[in-house]
Amino acid sequence: DGDGELKIKLNFRKRYITLAPVANLATIACKLSDPQNLLGHGVDIGITCVLIHKDTPGFSSGDHHLPIGDAFDNGPLYGKDAIVPATNIIGGPERAGQGWKMLMEQLAGGRAVSLPAGAIGGAKLVAATTGAYSMVRQQFGWPIGRLEGVEDKVGKIAGLTYLLEASRVFACSALDAGHEPPVTSAVLKAYTTELARQIVTEGMDVMAGAGVMQGPNNILGAGYMSAPVGVTVEGANIMTRTLIIFGQGATRCHPYALKVVNGAEQNDVAMFRRNLLAWFGHLFAGVGRSLVCGLTRGWTVSVPDVAAETKVYYRRLGWAAARFGLMTDLAMFAIGGKLKVRGKLTGRYADALAWQLLGFSALRRFEAEGRKAEDLALVHYALHYALAQVQEAFVGIYANFDGVLGKLLRLFGTLGLRINPIGVAPTDAMSHTAALTIQSHNAQFLRLAENIYLPTDGTPGVGRLLRAFRLITEVKPILAKIHTAQRDQRLSHGPAEELAAEAAYKGVITLEEAKQVTAALAARLDAIEVDVFKPEQYYLG
């Protein structure tokens, strides 16, 4: 520049940037060129991360996008011949060209924290409020949570929320220990946000009319509308699933693949030959390992000292891992570079890997929290669901593998997958016991819902619902007395809650107990009401 200082001229137009309208500092990842080699890194330096201040001439921000659901500051950034010193390169000019590495290392940890936390917080809110609503709302004289169609969804919400919280703690523990797991963080981002979207949809189905009528008492509507935000930001889940997870993991996590690549790039024949031969050995060992695991249904897998009720899941996950390792080697040998464009196939590989990780997270949580017997129902549901997804992923891989090997897999392997599955979906009995874990206002319910804000003062929405849920749980023993008296024909037929006065008069319950039942009934009726607006409120202007 005219002052003798090395500078960078930036031209850019960036959309969808969180906090862009209010930030006074931004990082721009740019493709940096240096025609005169002023920085000494060559002409085409490549991706570089550069800091730019809000008041820089040529740089403009402040416009807003309007995100769906709950609004937050998000908008575009514009640069037209914006000039910044070369010292604004993150790490200084000597770090020019290292932007891609910076971005990947930053995402390696960050993707496992913020978006998963938001998604899982939302899932826990859905679990707490849906479990409560399923017992507060009645139909045909029964809590709707006792109707099997509703119960099936409540059980799924409970089991998957337990699994998701387990994965969050597992990944954050790795970060606390100093690891930067790029593949794990990608799995966490993609699958927690997608599962949270599925969970809130299930919750909306249970709440039905109370979910779709907007107003201060609507609990899930805003979360339902904003669910696509988490799925979209920090890389759309489609890209994360089909390009990043298996694309990064197949090389970075393989014991020999990256070394073979490095040997080729460095023209180190000995290194290349040594690791390629080791890779072939790894492949043949994988064939044997997968075959033995399949024949024994995982009983040859070494299992640590864990709860007896969960050992079978460790064996199944070990079996799945053996098959996944073999199928990864086969894909890298038989399909090779074409994997980069086979997003549908690599997405299925990502599913198989992700659900193994999520399943193991649930097992780890069960052990870390002291093997709580009351949580076994959630563990059984979560692991059956996870292993069923792994099974389905392998079926898809076999059905879509390329070439002669693919034909052999479809001819011989698919039948074996069906006859000898790694996992099957949770049973009706499992969904019943999983649902029960969030259908009583007790210590387990409060523990499963910890770390999210749950008002208890009867305020509109969640507070009103949880107050009714607590009161209804407290009067269950009293209602049991009334039901017994009805069976003995000492009381008339009808909803037990409406017979409190008669039951007190006949000595079935005490007067104080009758007051509790009456209060619980009033709270129930209040909690299921939705917002109503006068015409002058409804029509604006």
DSSP for 224-286 reads HHHHHHHHHSSS-HHHIIIIIHHHHHHHHSSSSHHHHHHHHHTT-HHHHHHHHHHHHHHHHHH
Give pLDDT tens digits for 248-259.
888 878 888 888
Instruction: Please give the Cα distance from 99 to 77 (Å, whole number).
Output: 19
Residue 79: how many CA atoms within 13 Å on its side-chain side?
A: 23
Instruction: Please give the Cα distance from 476 to 497 (Å, whole number).
Output: 10
pLDDT of amino acid 105: 78
Helix (H) or strand (E) holding 474: helix 462-474
Helix (H) or strand (E) holding 13: strand 7-18
Q: Helix 99-110 to helix 182-207 angle, to the nearest 10 degrees?
A: 50
Give pLDDT tens digits for 156-179.
999 999 999 999 999 999 999 988
Q: In Å, how far from its chain's centre is CA 7?
A: 43
Q: What are phi and psi of 17, to 5 degrees?
A: -100, 115
Lowest mean pLDDT among 39-48, 246-255, 272-281: 246-255
321 Cβ partners below 8 Å, 6+ apart? 356
Res. 541: pLDDT tops 80: no
Res. 231: pLDDT tops 90: yes
> In DSSP terms, which residues pair with 74 in a beta bridge?
18
Which pLDDT band holds residue 389 (cuts at 50, 70, 90)? very high
Is residue 234 flagged as an active site residue? yes
Q: What sign for the dihedral angle of Cα 235, 236, 240, 244? A: negative
Q: In which residue are the tokens 């799924």 written?
A: 156
Give pLDDT tens digits for 115-138.
999 999 999 999 999 999 999 999
Q: Give the amino acid at 85.
A: P
From the list 247, 271, 107, the residue with the least C-alpha distance to 185 is 107
**Percent above pLDDT 70 for the chain:** 100
Mean of the per-residue pLDDT values of the chain: 93
Helix, strand, or coil (residue 491): coil
Instruction: Write down the catalytic residue from 165, 234, 392, 513.
Output: 234
Helix (H) or strand (E) holding 11: strand 7-18
How far from each other are the two terminal CA atoms of the chain, in whole angstroms? 57
Count CB atoms within 10 A of the CB of residue 250: 20
Instruction: Please give the Cα distance from 329 to 283 (Å, whole number).
Output: 6
- Residue spans of beta strands (DSSP E) within 19-95: 25-33, 44-53, 59-60, 74-85
pLDDT of amino acid 407: 92
What does the CA dihedral 91, 92, 97, 103 come to, rounded to 10 degrees?
30
Give pLDDT tens digits for 319-369.
999 999 999 999 988 888 788 889 999 999 999 999 999 999 999 999 999
The token pair at 242 is: 């089909």
- Model pTM score: 0.92
Instruction: Please give the Cα distance from 458 to 526 (Å, whole number).
Output: 10
127 Cβ partners below 8 Å, 6+ apart? 157, 158, 161, 199, 203, 438, 448, 449
- Separation in Å, CA 380 to CA 374, 385, 424: 11, 8, 12
- Could you tell me where the DSSP H helices lie in 420-461? 428-436, 443-448
Instruction: Please give the Cα distance from 197 to 188 (Å, whole number).
Output: 14
Instruction: Please give the Cα distance from 193 to 487 (Å, whole number).
Output: 48
Q: What sign for the dihedral angle of Cα 306, 308, 309, 313? A: positive
Give pLDDT tens digits for 174-204.
999 988 888 999 999 999 999 999 999 999 9
Q: What sign for the dihedral angle of Cα 343, 246, 17, 57? A: negative
How long is the chain? 541
Instruction: Please give the Cα distance from 56 to 516 (Å, whole number).
Output: 66
Q: What are phi and psi of 461, to 5 degrees?
A: 85, -120
Longest CA–CA separation in the chain, Å: 100
pLDDT of amino acid 233: 85
pLDDT of amino acid 249: 84
Instruction: Please give the Cα distance from 323 to 99 (Å, whole number).
Output: 36
From the list 58, 135, 5, 120, the residue with the least C-alpha distance to 365 is 120
**Percent above pLDDT 90 for the chain:** 79
Q: In which residue are the tokens 């932007």 written?
A: 99
50 neighbors 8 (Cβ within 8 angstroms)? yes
Q: In which residue are the tokens 């862009």 written?
A: 20
Which pLDDT band holds residue 61 (cuts at 50, 70, 90)? very high
Which pLDDT band holds residue 229 (cuts at 50, 70, 90)? very high
| Radius of gyration in angstroms for the set of CA atoms belonging to the chain, rounded to a whole number | 29
- Could you tell me where the DSSP H helices lie in 22-147? 99-110, 114-136
The token pair at 351 is: 């599913």
Res. 247: pLDDT tops 80: yes
Instruction: Please give the Cα distance from 63 to 68 (Å, whole number).
Output: 16
Helix (H) or strand (E) holding 172: helix 148-176
Helix, strand, or coil (residue 20): coil
Give pLDDT tens digits for 408-457.
999 889 999 999 999 999 999 999 999 999 999 999 999 999 999 999 77
Q: What sign for the dihedral angle of Cα 48, 51, 56, 62? A: positive
Q: What sign for the dihedral angle of Cα 504, 510, 512, 518? A: negative
